[in-house]
Amino acid sequence: MNARRNFIRISAGAAALAALPVLGALPARAASASRTLRVGNQKGYLSLLKGRGTLEKRLAPLGVAVTWTEFDAGPVQLEALNVGSIDFGDVGEAPPIFAQAAGAPLAYVAATVPRPQAEAVLVPHASAIRSVTDLKGKTIALNRGSNVHYFLVKLLQAHNIQYGDVKVVFLAPADARAAFERGAIDAWVIWDPFLAAAQKTLDARILADASGVVGNRAYYFSSLSYAKQNPDVIKILIDELSQIDQWGQANRAALATQLAQVWGLPNDVVSEAIGRAQFGTGPITKAILAEQQQIANTFFDLKLIPKRVNVLEAAAPGIV
């Protein structure tokens, strides 16, 4: 998923997660581990799951041991999957396209609901840019090949603006924020929590979010072989994540407090992001993979990937 984790500095300990409800009971007698689940986690829901320890409790009777490795970006996670170092992780829409183009044995195993309000085009509060059409000829910063890259392409198309009619500069979030703050760029396309932080601390103005333009889902992935051989493990994993999702929807303030500590951000920044968050995690469907196929086709047309990608080849068993 993304360079957004470069913004994150502080890791939460188990005490910060103690307020989360416990969903599993410790078995009286755990079986000896004969299988291993290697989770590659970015700081987010998987961090909350790790802190709770409920996944280990539910998998112990199946003889499954769990290991955790933290990554700061989705592409690094997917490279770890490609070389066989992890079995499961979380990522945004765009990085899996690049991973599949590079031959990674990727399997999509679950997806969130669309979250279009979590990414947007920002301009300075006093900017003369008042509509998307005003972006023509302007300098726009974004993270190359990311979810927001796809969002900008589709947003411009929706307003009959050619991609070549704007000057796109590729900057990681921290560099883009610095450029935005000093006025070196006209607009910045970015996602939460960077989006919320810019609103709160730079008085940035949202020109347009992704509503009605793109979905901006997040995905959980495994390898094709692991998903095929361990469907019981994957099912429990997704169930645990779904329950955290449900808890977060019903307890947004508490979720914001937990994630503020995990992300190392002020609570008001995280509360801004959580306030517009959409909740829901469910199975992969052919319709969802068709959305990914559109992204793959767009990135190929922009020459961001070297070959056409058939997203259905990354479908885990059992999609509908």
- In the chain, what are the domain boundaries? 3-113+217-314, 116-209
User: At a CB cut-off of 8 Å and minimum separation 6, what does 285 contact?
Assistant: 319, 320
Average pLDDT over residues 173-191: 96
Q: What is the pLDDT of residues 235-267, one digit of tens each?
A: 999 999 999 999 999 999 999 999 999 999 999
Superfamily of domain 116-209, CATH level 4? Periplasmic binding protein-like II (3.40.190.10)
Is the whole-model pTM more than 0.85?
no
pLDDT for res 250: 96
Q: What are the backbone dihedrals phi and psi of residue 257, each rounded to the nearest 5 degrees, phi first? A: -65, -45
Average pLDDT over residues 131-152: 93
pLDDT for res 56: 96
Same-fold call for 3-113+217-314 versus 116-209: yes
CA–CA separation, 273 and 267 (whole Å): 10
User: At a CB cut-off of 8 Å and minimum separation 6, what does 310 contact?
Assistant: 293
Tokens of 202: 């730079």
pLDDT for res 7: 37
pLDDT for res 108: 96
Average pLDDT over residues 278-298: 94
What is the maximum span of the chain, computed from C-alpha positions, in angstroms?
66
Pairwise pLDDT comparison (38 vs 30), residue with the higher score:
38
pLDDT for res 302: 86
Report which residue type is found at 177.
Answer: R
Mean pLDDT across the chain, nearest whole number?
88
Half-sphere exposure of residue 72: CA atoms within 13 angstroms, side-chain side: 10
- pLDDT above 90 coverage of the chain, percent: 76
pLDDT over 90 at 304, yes or no: no
Residue matched to tokens 């560099």: 175
Superfamily of domain 3-113+217-314, CATH level 4? Periplasmic binding protein-like II (3.40.190.10)
**3-class DSSP state of 210:** coil
Are 185 and 141 contacting, i.e. CB atoms less than 8 angstroms apart?
Answer: yes
Report which residue type is found at 185.
Answer: I
CA–CA separation, 142 and 318 (whole Å): 36
Band the pLDDT of 22: cuts 50, 70, 90: very low
Pairwise pLDDT comparison (11 vs 138), residue with the higher score:
138
